[in-house]
Structure 1
Amino acid sequence: MKKIVLVAAGLMCGSAAFCQQTVSGKIKGGNGKTIYLYNDKSNTPEDSVALKADESFSMPVKGKEKAIYALILQDNDQPMLFTSGKENVVVNAEAATFPVAQSFKGDEDAKAMQAYQQAFQPLIGQAQQLNVEARGIRGDDEAAKEAFRKKAEAFGAEVTKTGVAFVEKHPHNLASVWLMLNELRNRVDPQQMEQLFTSLDKPVQQSQYGEAIGKYLHAARLSGIGVEADDFTQNDVNGKPVSLKSFRGKYVLVDFWASWCGPCRAENPNVVAAYNKYKDKNFTILGVSLDKDKNPWTHAIEKDGLAWTQVSDLKGWENSVAVQYGIQSIPANMLVGPDGKIVARNLRGDALEAKLEELLNK
């Protein structure tokens, strides 16, 4: 009778969406540190546990649908990502090289997520180095700014190349849609994004992350080249409401940036140069800041010499205009024509200068 009950329980577990899943393993060199478990919908840990004397840990994963989870080791801000599912996840890693695992067991989605991290780990190191370099560039060092801009462009191209290759190789896995949301959404044009998305398996497209990409692509179709830009209104630095439509009749570059964004600050000299060259030729700029605090925002405006209108709702990444236009990384921009239609997107450096020269020096 007990065997029959156990078999029945096994069948029920196999037919349900998920059984009780655990994530466990060992972190060599962890020295009793705490390891935290996060889900993708919260900034607070779902669970945490101190590493045992043998450097092992185990925690339940409580999600009821396929989702992305992260393990974060104390004093290390890089997450080890995995997906919830029917199979338990077992990781063995070293604290010095966390979040890349030396061995990793789980279902195919969880393994693909680890493969994604391994592919991007060198790029994460490069990004950290670039952010440090950007903070060290003096405001009057034009040669250093130009050199950094070229490095940043090369880095962005490498991120795109690595990400696209991964998605093409993993059309069956959630890791691909997660990568598209977090790495590629603001780096490839909507047409390429749509091509990548349609190449994914239907279950991946229909996942919660696939639905998010679907919404982004819908918004992109509404704000694509040649489409009239959706209007918005936000307050300027003096609390006065400013709308996009108030610039109708001019070319206006809607520039998404923030005081804390190193690449944005490094790009600002190019934007200032474009503004100074074309401001008397029916061109202006409307800055949209993703800052949360007013003082750093206004200080950066003054320090970088941004003489054009600036607006923000001081909600960071939740800035209503950024959400409206699906902005996931900055710097980002769109050039809107006198008729209110979008002419171009994400113009930087020489590309911005070339486009303005084409339009305004006819």
Structure 2
Amino acid sequence: MMKQLLIGLGIVITLLSCGAKDTGTAKTSVHGRISGSKAKMVYLEEVPLGSMNPQVVDSAKLDKDGSFTLHSQAAEATLLNLRLDQFSFPILSLVNDTSEVDVTVRMNDQQPDFASDYDVKGSPASQRMKDYIVKVTGYLQDIYRDAVTFDSLRKQPGTDSLQAVATGRKKQTGIKLREYAFATVQEANNPALSVFALTYYLSAAGNQAYELEPVSDEELDKTIADLVKRYPAHKALAALKKSMDDANAQKPASLVGRPAPEFTLPDVNGKPVSLNSFRGKYLLVDFWASWCGPCRRENPNVVKAFQQFKDKNFTILGVSLDETKEAWMKAIVQDQLKWTQVSDLKHWESSVVGLYGIQGIPYNVLLDPDGKVIAENLTGSSLERKLSEVLK
């Protein structure tokens, strides 16, 4: 899926690169000083968008005062990562929009492989990226605090109004974050910064704890297409669009508007359960597995939706791609999935995989009482919104 492709690019946010005419430089020298670190070496990485494998292009031994100079010969605008010693993750990233960049890095006393703060001079795009990260982090911290407040309040009787305030504030913060992220994507004058801002938001939205508004495939398509139009000579951005177009071409046709393919699978007691037996109700067919981390993180949202709408002619059918009954049953209990569950315990060889064109989980389809698919791939807040729309 296109979104999964870009989210994959943003899992480690700093591992991105892209290029465009007049937005990069043929040579960039990074001068810096790192304090509070016992590291001996510093490495400069470029990360080709096509391979997504960071390539070390220069290294230097840190002087006694932590100073260093590194050089990049990247021909297009790209992100340059600074990494210390054997640490897996970069301590920061820069954009090569100028020939000389100066950074001052202060490492975290408690976590010596992370920077607590840094200053950058000489690179407007790098400074803009830092400002973006700081502001988005602030929004996410506000959302987290309101989530903690809500969880605390709901354990106390007579706090419904206060719970509503915390929930409303959290939602508004999420809206502001999304608007800020896409404004940065559109207003940035460097393609590397635009793609960075986009993938940063996609990664945050992929964390269900924040309940951020997801980005639809259509919106993602348009955003990348607009960037390609703005930077027609941007080779890496063009390659990214081609990868997305190729993924889109291979994606199965949407099931929306069509009758859901019929199947019958055994439940936890071995009793056959058919999809048709749920006719007359709105039904969410939820494909998941105990071994699927994203599925397990999404399950609280599904549980919340079930509790909210189960008395409105709505139910859920869980379809697991597990291999062992023990793991399947344990996950059902742990995640409190109190609706019908079925599985043939055949993992990706399950008959439903080809039947529904499943390329990844979690995945779901929402059926109307006649068994027709009216929505698919509903996660997080989008699931609650769609159910609120159809179950008035």
What band does the TM-score fall into relative to the shorter chain?
A: 0.5 to 0.7
Q: Could you tell me whether the CA contact under 8 Å between 2:44 and 2:81 is conserved in 1?
A: yes
Are the structure 2 counterparts of residues 172 and 18 from structure 1 closer, same or farther at C-alpha, using a change threshold of 3 Å? closer
Whole-Å separation in 1 of the counterparts to 2:342 and 2:61: 47
Which consecutive residues of structure 1, in runs of 5 or more, have no partner in the other structure?
1-13
> Quick one: which of 82, 86, 93 aligns to 1:81?
93
2:231 is aligned to 202
1:253 is aligned to 284
1:168-217 alpha-carbon deviations (Å, 9 max, x no partner) = 21154222123323424872334444443444313359444444555677
1:160 is aligned to 178
Residues 1:98 and 2:112 are matched in the alignment: no
Q: In the alignment, residue 54 of structure 1 is paired with which amino acid?
A: D
> Quick one: which of 316, 327, 340 aligns to 1:284?
316
2:307 is aligned to 273
Q: How far apart are residue 352 of structure 1 and its match?
A: 4.7
Are the structure 2 counterparts of residues 180 and 305 from structure 1 closer, same or farther at C-alpha, using a change threshold of 3 Å? same
1:236-265 alpha-carbon deviations (Å, 9 max, x no partner) = 999x9xxx9999967543557865789635
Are the structure 2 counterparts of residues 352 and 227 from structure 1 closer, same or farther at C-alpha, using a change threshold of 3 Å? closer
Residues 1:29 and 2:47 are matched in the alignment: no
Q: How far apart are residue 160 of structure 1 and its match?
A: 0.9
Aligned length: 325
Whole-Å separation in 1 of the counterparts to 2:97 and 2:200: 21
Which consecutive residues of structure 2, in runs of 5 or more, have no partner in the other structure?
1-20, 109-113, 207-213
2:334 is aligned to 303
Whole-Å separation in 1 of the counterparts to 2:266 and 2:129: 42
Are the structure 2 counterparts of residues 57 and 351 from structure 1 closer, same or farther at C-alpha, using a change threshold of 3 Å? same
Identity %: 16
1:12-44 alpha-carbon deviations (Å, 9 max, x no partner) = xx99x9856554412233354765656375688
Q: How far apart are residue 166 of structure 1 and its match?
A: 0.8
Q: How far apart are residue 72 of structure 1 and its match?
A: 5.0
Whole-Å separation in 2 of the counterparts to 1:44 and 1:333: 35
Are the structure 2 counterparts of residues 50 and 181 from structure 1 closer, same or farther at C-alpha, using a change threshold of 3 Å? same
Are the structure 2 counterparts of residues 260 and 90 from structure 1 closer, same or farther at C-alpha, using a change threshold of 3 Å? same
Are the structure 2 counterparts of residues 58 and 350 from structure 1 closer, same or farther at C-alpha, using a change threshold of 3 Å? same
Root-mean-square deviation (CA, aligned residues, Å) is: 5.9
> Quick one: which of 53, 58, 65 aligns to 2:64?
53
Q: Could you tell me whether the CA contact under 8 Å between 1:18 and 1:64 is conserved in 2?
A: yes
Are the structure 2 counterparts of residues 54 and 294 from structure 1 closer, same or farther at C-alpha, using a change threshold of 3 Å? farther
Q: Could you tell me whether the CA contact under 8 Å between 2:305 and 2:384 is conserved in 1?
A: no
1:121 is aligned to 137
SS at match of 1:188: coil
Q: Could you tell me whether the CA contact under 8 Å between 1:177 and 1:210 is conserved in 2?
A: no
Q: In the alignment, residue 231 of structure 2 is paired with which amino acid?
A: K
Q: How far apart are residue 54 of structure 1 and its match?
A: 1.0
Q: Could you tell me whether the CA contact under 8 Å between 1:254 and 1:286 is conserved in 2?
A: yes
Q: Could you tell me whether the CA contact under 8 Å between 2:98 and 2:122 is conserved in 1?
A: no
1:70 is aligned to 81
Whole-Å separation in 2 of the counterparts to 1:212 and 1:88: 33
Q: How does 1:317-328 map to 2 (within 5 A)?
A: none
Which fold has the larger relative contact order, with Cα–Cα distance below 8 Å and residues 6 or more apart in sequence? 2
Higher mean C-alpha displacement, 156-165 vs 193-202: 193-202
Q: Could you tell me whether the CA contact under 8 Å between 1:26 and 1:57 is conserved in 2?
A: yes
Q: How does 1:328-347 map to 2 (within 5 A)?
A: 335-337=366-368, 341-343=373-375, 345-346=378-379
Whole-Å separation in 1 of the counterparts to 2:358 and 2:99: 38
Are the structure 2 counterparts of residues 151 and 247 from structure 1 closer, same or farther at C-alpha, using a change threshold of 3 Å? farther
Q: Could you tell me whether the CA contact under 8 Å between 2:120 and 2:126 is conserved in 1?
A: no
1:6 is aligned to none
SS at match of 2:63: coil
Residues 1:354 and 2:361 are matched in the alignment: no
Q: In the alignment, residue 103 of structure 1 is paired with which amino acid?
A: V
Q: Could you tell me whether the CA contact under 8 Å between 1:21 and 1:60 is conserved in 2?
A: yes
Q: Could you tell me whether the CA contact under 8 Å between 1:28 and 1:55 is conserved in 2?
A: yes
Q: Could you tell me whether the CA contact under 8 Å between 2:191 and 2:231 is conserved in 1?
A: no
Q: How far apart are residue 165 of structure 1 and its match?
A: 1.6
Are the structure 2 counterparts of residues 286 and 296 from structure 1 closer, same or farther at C-alpha, using a change threshold of 3 Å? closer
2:187 is aligned to 169
1:189 is aligned to 216
Q: Could you tell me whether the CA contact under 8 Å between 1:255 and 1:287 is conserved in 2?
A: yes
Q: How far apart are residue 285 of structure 1 and its match?
A: 3.6
SS at match of 1:277: coil
Whole-Å separation in 2 of the counterparts to 1:324 and 1:139: 37
Are the structure 2 counterparts of residues 173 and 43 from structure 1 closer, same or farther at C-alpha, using a change threshold of 3 Å? closer
SS at match of 2:139: helix
Q: Could you tell me whether the CA contact under 8 Å between 2:260 and 2:373 is conserved in 1?
A: no
Q: Could you tell me whether the CA contact under 8 Å between 1:253 and 1:285 is conserved in 2?
A: yes
